[in-house]
A and B are shown apart, each in its own frame.
Chain A
Amino acid sequence: MAERGPTLLFSVFFCLLCYVFHTVASTKDEYSEELLIIPFRSGQVYSHFEFTTLWDVDFAQGGGGRYKLQHFRLFPRALGQVMTEYRVQEMHLTLTQGMWQQDKWGYPVTSAAPGAELWAWFQQEVDDVDQAWFGLTNALSGLFCASLNFIDSTSTATPHLSFRPQGLAEGLFSTKPSHLRYATLPRENVCTENLTPWKKLLPCSTRTGLAALFHAGQLYNTQYSSLGVHLRPVCRNDSCRDASLELRQVLSTVADPPATLNGKQDWSMKRYFSRSLSGPCPMAVTSRVYVDVTTNQTSSFTLKPEPTELKLTNYQGYNRKLAVYDLWSFPFHKEHGLNVDMKWKKEVSYKELFPPRLYVHRFVTGYGQEHGGIMSLLYNRHPYLEQQIIYMELLPWFTRMYLHTLKVETTEGNLVQPLLTRYTPGRDRQNPYLLEIVLTLPPDSTTRISFSFERAFLKWTEYPPDANHGFYISSAVLTTILRQADNFTVPPHMGSGLQSGLFHSSTEFPLRLHTETLLISLPTPDFSMPYNVICLTCTVIAIAFGSLHNLTTRRFQYTDLKKANSGGMRAWLAQLFGRGKQATSEDKLREPGKESEDPGEESETSEENDYIGEQRELVTPRVRAESDKKDR
């Protein structure tokens, strides 16, 4: 009985401790996964996956918007530790393959530049932003298997007008452009090795839920494929006195059924993702698939299976009908899961495509390898509204921009005066050229922005191994606020998740568009030249030098033929084989001074010399003995 007392006390204390630790738990985090499928009028099908994790982190801990991440539950720890280490407030990374065709497909949910694009806002208290940026790019290159470590000062810029923070930017959070860094790598290619670590950041990975559809062979067999990781602080609730950390992982693809099916537009999950959905991710609060069936009246396709509900949305006069499959309430069969299947009755008819009100194209002009030009065409198709835009251009240092050649005019010839021009000149091998122009596009017009540049000579060590491929110029970025919803796939929004954007009514839509990347060729030397020169020089030296050496160091002597004949076996053999030469040696008698032309035949010349001439002795016996020694 006496023993039980302390043990009882200990067990009670232990239970209490457990209970205490049980309640001292991680802060609330929420995960939701959504998929949006939109068939375009041109026959392609757009699939956009969005995986959002919202974490109620305490931001005010260290001051200056610094957060401390611990007790990771749904938020990926690998990414969280990188963000804490380099004190990142907001980060956007996209890896894209292909070009989004604005005039055919409208606007994407999130626009991305071809290649790799990374921009980050650092916390207010960070003193050395460049050091933090350098560390961040290297850490991300290891995390996503991309060559982001090639981002250095020659490809990094600090835009002042474009790329404002998409997350909170008041009070604790920095808004000064000095804390922003932007860089792109247009040469970067995207493949399964980027998808693999990206998939592993998801709470359910690819075991179940929407991420189970990821099969690399299908995802990269598309016209456009983009991976994105977006991290930002957001309002926790409507009163917005607290902030949460939002991580948004995005995967967009545009598949082309008519190209692979000979004109037929039929699309199904099994065909384009190689599998069907078997259930939601257990960690997800919402798990939904939205299919845009607005065009069902006009194009008439049948959608199978039956959606859990049909929702109608309306913004700014645009009606949209969405079929919603809620994976938590969908009756899943044991054998086959959810396979969204769209079958069209007719072949794709390539209807007249209506491009959006605002879109942009860019291309290189000029010829030769010394100068060139870039021209951008900005289309504003609205009949009566003008549009204010910010146009940002980032040129590498080896295309030296001439600002005085900048011309902004409409195609009719009317000059458009920019409201603001912000130019940061570049420095050779150090900084790129950054140009930001604010201008107003007149209604129903095409505005031309053009300027010329000069191509630089690179040092021969600065060329990449495939130098003749050319060099890339990253895409230009157009930022604007549209006051009329127009051809939006999902209106850009400040809320989290697709549902806050799809069922959203606002009067202002911030929009970002990317143009094409450009490929230019710089004056490239012929790298095989040193090899060719060495070969040629060595041949010339071998032939000329050899001959000259023979001429200057060889002496020709005459010997007695009779003496040579009485040499015994060796001399008899020599005579046997030398019989063919006797005729030639007699010829040579007439030209005593002729030297041998072949420098390699030194032993033979001495033999020939033995048979040349009889009585003539050009050298004294003493010298002859010496030269004999030299020859042998």
Chain B
Amino acid sequence: MAAHSGRNWAGLMFLCLLFVSVAASSNVEDQVGGFFKSGHTNNWAVLVCTSRFWFNYRHIANTLSVYRSVKRLGIPDSQIILMLADDMACNPRNPRPATVFNNANQHINVYGDNVEVDYRGYEVTVENFIRVLTGRLPPSTPRSKRLLTDDRSNVLVYMTGHGGEGFLKFQDAEEISNVELADAFQQMWQKNRYHEILFMIDTCQAVSMYHKFYSPNVIGIGSAQVGEDSLSHHVDPSIGVYIIDRYTYYLLEFLETVTPDSKKTLADLFRVCPKRVCVSTPGVRTDLFTRDPNTVLITDFFGSVRNVEITTETITLKRNDTAQLCSGSSCPGSRRGKRRKKLAYANQFPVEAAYEEEVTKPQWHFPMYFVAALSVFFITVVSAFRI
């Protein structure tokens, strides 16, 4: 009898375990399914500020605000291309060097201590921007200046500066039109250089810049409609200029509440700056995007998908640990026993040698054709006189 009940208990236990495992596996399946929902495997960001001069401080602050958020949510510097057309932080006019604040009360230093600017100053041109997007850079370009995306990369493109209907001004010297930008994105699509693009632009008449897009999987967000100006937020009296634009100020405020595991979607991002605070009407374009923006996570574009295993193991470093080092002849592969010449440092003041070199050189040097021509001349003159 006891054995029989024991078997029952075992059977019950087995059934329980079965159910639990089925439930757990469905969880696991959900998890595994979740990995493949978004479809991208890496995140990149291209953040461009196109304005130069001190009175455009706010555009640098805009770009750095997005840079700060994007870095905080996980995209590494090697996958961010930051283009700043001027230097505000170490500008002689900045009363607080090496800082760029988004707020007159110095709430957030968006410049930070760990910033890496890839294109700066005069390097921010329309040509360089389009070359970065399309990947057609000269072979000497270093890796940190290249956009090495593939067909599973989600790219965030943020641009700010002065714009008009259908164009964006670069450094007061040239402009990029919406047609060029649309073509650049199409080139990227044809070369499989992106999986999805989130294009954000904070300028006057911003939405005109994404009107001409025709490549798939692109979302466009603009801060102002055609005919509207995108306004700045407030002035910092100690700096003397407007320090941030309204749209990006509220965008930063929103992004500060986003954490790397946040479930907020793009629909929240579209509502970040309503007309009553922004004065201009932000616009959105989602017709080219295949997924429903209500299901797309913000971290799909602002965060990063990376496989990082963090260990809590500590390694104690010992001072002067030369146990595994070799030196000179004890190193394998070094030439032993060969008599080496004594080396010396250079003479830092080589004037005597140079002087001798100057003096020994011949002072006059006639090329051969000159000598030939001269001799021909003299012969003809002499013969002419004789005749």
Contact = CB atoms under 8 A, between A and B. Distances in A.
A134 interface: yes
B334 A58 contact: yes
Contacts of A170: 341-346
> Which of A166, A175, A220 counts the most chain B CB atoms within 10 A?
A220
Nearest to A164: B346
A64 interface: no
Given A192-B89, A466-B52, A147 B120 contact: yes
B349 interface: yes
Contacts of A247: none
Contacts of A390: 349, 351
Contacts of A285: 319-320
Nearest to B82: A193
Given A29-B325, A219-B98, A465-B172, A235 B351 contact: no
Given A28-B327, A239-B342, A282-B319, A192 B111 contact: yes
A420 interface: yes
B313 to A, nearest CB: 16
B199 to A, nearest CB: 25
B171 to A, nearest CB: 4
B350 A161 contact: yes
Contacts of B322: 28
Given A134-B140, A465-B52, A191 B90 contact: yes
Given A221-B97, A283-B317, A193 B325 contact: no
Contacts of A58: 331, 333-334
A510 B346 CA distance: 11
B30 interface: no
- What 3 A-B pairs have minimum CB-CB distances, sorted nearest first? A142-B142, A169-B346, A282-B317
Given A28-B322, A190-B90, A191-B89, A242 B328 contact: yes
A162 B318 CA distance: 43
B122 interface: yes
A240 B118 contact: no
What is the interface of chain B mostly: helix, strand, loop, or mixed? loop
A438 interface: yes
A328 B319 CA distance: 9
Interface of A: 22-29, 56, 58, 60, 73, 97, 134-135, 138-139, 141-143, 145, 147, 149-150, 160-161, 164-173, 175, 187, 189-193, 196-197, 215-217, 219-221, 235-236, 239-243, 282-285, 328, 388, 390, 419-420, 422, 438, 464-466, 479-481, 494, 510
B121 interface: yes
B171 A465 contact: yes
Interface in B58-102: 87, 89-91, 96-99
Contacts of A173: 343
A158 B229 CA distance: 52
B328 A56 contact: yes
B143 A142 contact: yes
A216 B115 CA distance: 10
Interface in B341-361: 341-351, 354-355, 358
Contacts, number: 190
Given A138-B140, A242-B340, A328-B319, A168 B53 contact: no
A483 to B, nearest CB: 11
Contacts of B97: 217, 220-221
Interface in B133-149: 140-145
B342 to A, nearest CB: 6
Contacts of B142: 138-139, 141-143
Contacts of B114: 192, 196
A242 B335 CA distance: 11
A434 B343 CA distance: 31
Contact of A481 (B325, B326, B349): B349
Contacts of A29: 325
B348 A481 contact: yes
Contacts of A143: 142, 144
Nearest to A420: B355
Nearest to B327: A28
Contacts of A479: 348-349
Nearest to B95: A221
Contact of B345 (A24, A139, A150, A168): A168
Contacts of A481: 348-349
Contacts of A282: 317-319
A240 B342 contact: yes
A510 B348 contact: yes
A261 B89 CA distance: 23
Given A25-B326, A138-B141, A191-B89, A241 B99 contact: no
Nearest to B142: A142
Which of B90, B144, B343 has the most CB atoms of chain A within a 10 A radius of its CB? B343
A329 B90 CA distance: 38
B354 A160 contact: yes
A464 B122 contact: yes
B253 interface: no
A501 B92 CA distance: 35
